[in-house]
Amino acid sequence: MEGRVNAVNTNDFEKTLRQLSPLDDQAVEEIAEIAPALDDAAKDRIEALCEKKMRLETMNTANQIHAEGVTNITRTQWYRPVMTTAACLLLAAGIGGAILLGNHRPAVTPPVSTDVPATTEATTENTSTEPLPNDLSMEDLRSMMDQNVRCVDYFLLLNGVSYNSEDLGDDTHETETDAFASYAEMKEYVYSVFCDDFAEELLNGNGGVHYLEVDGKFCVKPRTVLDGVSFSEDWYSYEITNPASVDENTVTFDVTVNRTYDDGEKIPATYVCKAIRESDGWRLEKLYGYDEPQINGLYLEDLRNLMYRNLDCLEAFVTTPLFHKGEDLGVGIYEVDSDQFVSYDALESYVYSTYCDEFANELLTSYPCGYALYSEYDGKFCIQPASVFDYSYPEEDWKNFEITNPAAMGDYMIVFDVTGLRSVATGEECGCTCKAIRESDGWRLEKMYGYTKPESSTSDLNGFAEEGILHELVENSMQIHGNYTLKSEPLSGTTLHEIDLSNNFDLSLKFWDAASFRELVESTFTPEVAQWVLNDCIFKIVDDKLYIDEAKVAYEQGALVDWTRFDIEVQSVEKIGNEQVCTFRAVATDDSNFQFPDTTLEDRTEYFTATSSDEHGWLLSIKPEHLVK
């Protein structure tokens, strides 16, 4: 049993907590009741998913072909597809290079055809000044692009390929298509259209629908790959222009298709295509189609990713510092406990790949944004939380942000707007203008966005975070003031009674014994007031036990008002030396179930003063009226 003495060590305990699930059915039911995870927005999402799946099923059912007892699902229409960010990136990185003429915005209207087009309405116009090689005519280029159109259908839209509903594992289904008799035939076809490197990439499923052979069967993983793309392209009518020989083995030409955006606006998109001579003929360099517009060589998706990284940093440094293990290492810092960033190096590298060096350095070495400072201490990844006072910023909800109006400012800068943010405090929509800068090894944000650095001398105290803190202080204070059922027998020779926890241990009780009471008091009041609350108020600690002095209890006071719901109204904030002094009042709200009808506003109002210092944050600094007996 040696060693079991330390059995409940911090690491094991954390590990156990992290492996809390799977729990038994009863526990899971209780969890769902105690801590429901889904808000209305999540329920809306689930409802929308259900409706979509049912719609899709209905349509598939309508298109079912029955053969020998198995159900074939044929995607006769292209639904707005679902693409992961990764797939999108692959597409962006691997396929095409569109230049959208006249307007930068993403694109869609679904092509509805199910059949591979036998012919297209392609038109060609040779405006080249360089003659094409002898073995490549405009007709050849058109023929190559016709094959490109087929591959857009097969690999991007999953059109014209039906498949068996039976899952052979890992969402792999046998194809039921006349287009190709076997996987080998498709492979041969792809190699005959594209250069070898790209053909191999495409057949491996990178950037497109993955076709494969399983046990000799021609199979497909029927994922769709264009989610997030907000446009459609009409590849049944394209135009080839500007063919030009770059050298004897390379020809470039522009292919223009009509793009239709969600709102119906049509804008032509031009792809700069390349045909390359291989040993046995001409091939396309890659698949062209559904490529997002670029600004200064950067895709919108890359800008979005930069902003997601900004959001991660905003959370880690400002709004939601990484969890720590709670044990002060003795110098005011704590070991980080995070799956998101497992080491200081990981965090540092993330920051440097998100922001320009100058800002990254500032973020990592000082408190430019007010909350957390990370470091490596004694080989451990540590956090040094700043005082709560520092983080007075307007918090914003970044769930649905959008990037709009991206514009190149020279070759090394892109300016864009981020819209769709909501102020958490006021609910008002807000946004910001951001800058991305091209550095030697990629694009970075100029600085952190979504955060307003607090003015150190300001007397304004309207920020959400501070109000939340004041709210909690009042809540703590009111708990101490609350009425409790006492055990009937007092401590011998005194008027001190223990609290009858069996009658009082309700869900919102913030303290339950002497230690938790002391902790609550010390984190609520300044040391002087805390001393008074601990020694002279209605509570008394004797021999590490918590008692209520019945002689000091005035049950009637405050009993008329329910203090579980109240608003904070800040009246003034003054800066005195290094401290701020905030005078505010708490007003119990009208919707209480327990208020007596004849209470006045004054009955429902308590006045407070709180002091804030860098060292301690906000603490109540005068004796609250309701505790003065």
Kindly write out the interface string for residues 387-416 of this chain, putting x where it contacts other proteins by CB under 8 A and - elsewhere: -x----------------------------
Q: Please name which of 194, 199, 208 lies closest in space to residue 93, comparing C-alpha atoms.
A: 208
Q: Please name which of 375, 407, 363, 372 lies closest in space to residue 390, comparing C-alpha atoms.
A: 372
Sole binder of other proteins in the list 54, 184, 409, 628 (CB under 8 A): 54
Kindly give the interhelix angle for 85-94 and 300-314, rounded to the nearest 10 degrees: 140
Stretch that binds other proteins, among 33-41, 91-99, 269-277, 567-575 (CB under 8 A): 33-41
- Nearest-approach distance from CB 513 to other proteins, in angstroms: 10
Contact set for other proteins, span 284-343 (CB under 8 A)? 315, 319-321, 323-324, 326
118/507 with CB nearer other proteins: 507
Please state the three-class secondary structure of 298-336 as a single string.
Answer: EEHHHHHHHHHHHHHHHHHHHHCCCCEEEEECCCCCEEE
251/307 with CB nearer other proteins: 307
Q: Which amino acid is present at 63?
A: N
Q: Which amino acid is present at 605?
A: T
- Nearest-approach distance from CB 345 to other proteins, in angstroms: 22
Rounded-to-integer distance, Cα 159 and Cα 236, Å? 13
CA distances to 33, 328, 381, 403, 509 from 334, in Å: 33, 5, 8, 37, 28
Stretch that binds other proteins, among 44-52, 185-193, 484-492, 566-574 (CB under 8 A): 44-52
Stretch that binds other proteins, among 48-56, 111-119, 129-137, 279-287 (CB under 8 A): 48-56
Rounded-to-integer distance, Cα 253 and Cα 263, Å? 30
315/603 with CB nearer other proteins: 315
Strand residue runs (E) in 93-155: 98-100, 123-125
Kindly write out the interface string for residues 165-184 of this chain, putting x where it contacts other proteins by CB under 8 A and - elsewhere: --x-xxx-------------
Rounded-to-integer distance, Cα 351 and Cα 375, Å? 13
601 lines the binding site for other proteins (CB under 8 A): no
End-to-end CA distance of the chain: 55
Tell me which H or E stretch contains 73: strand 70-73
191/449 with CB nearer other proteins: 449
What's the full length of the chain, in residues? 629
- How many residues bind other proteins, per CB under 8 A? 63
Rounded-to-integer distance, Cα 348 and Cα 421, Å? 27
Sole binder of other proteins in the list 31, 214, 491, 587 (CB under 8 A): 31
384 lines the binding site for other proteins (CB under 8 A): no
What does the block give as tokens for 81?
Answer: 């597809």
21/134 with CB nearer other proteins: 21
385/431 with CB nearer other proteins: 385
Q: Which amino acid is present at 137?
A: S
13 lines the binding site for other proteins (CB under 8 A): yes
Stretch that binds other proteins, among 21-29, 67-75, 107-115, 221-229 (CB under 8 A): 21-29
Stretch that binds other proteins, among 209-217, 467-475, 482-490, 570-578 (CB under 8 A): 467-475
What are the phi and psi torsion angles at 622 (to 5°)? -125, 160
139/170 with CB nearer other proteins: 170
169/427 with CB nearer other proteins: 169
123-125/231-247 β-pairing:
parallel
52/629 with CB nearer other proteins: 52
Helix (H, G, I), strand (E, B) or coil at 590: coil
Contact set for other proteins, span 509-568 (CB under 8 A)? 509, 512, 519, 523
The residues, any chain, with a CB within 8 Å of residue 621's CB and separated by 6 or more, are 525, 526, 528, 529, 581, 609, 610, 611
Kindly write out the interface string for residues 470-509 of this chain, putting x where it contacts other proteins by CB under 8 A and - elsewhere: --x--------------------------------x-xxx
163 with 175: CB under 8 angstroms? yes
165 with 205: CB under 8 angstroms? no
58/237 with CB nearer other proteins: 58
Stretch that binds other proteins, among 22-30, 178-186, 236-244, 411-419 (CB under 8 A): 22-30
Kindly write out the interface string for residues 57-76 of this chain, putting x where it contacts other proteins by CB under 8 A and - elsewhere: x-------------------
Partners of 238 in beta bridges: 257
DSSP letter string over 364-428?
A: HHS-TTSSEEEEEETTEEEEEEPPGGG-----EE-TT-EEEEEEE-SSSEEEEEEEEEEETTT--
Q: Interface with other proteins by CB under 8 A: which residues?
A: 1, 4, 7-8, 10, 12-13, 16-18, 20-25, 27-39, 42-43, 45-47, 49-51, 53-54, 57, 167, 169-171, 315, 319-321, 323-324, 326, 388, 465, 468-469, 472, 505, 507-509, 512, 519, 523
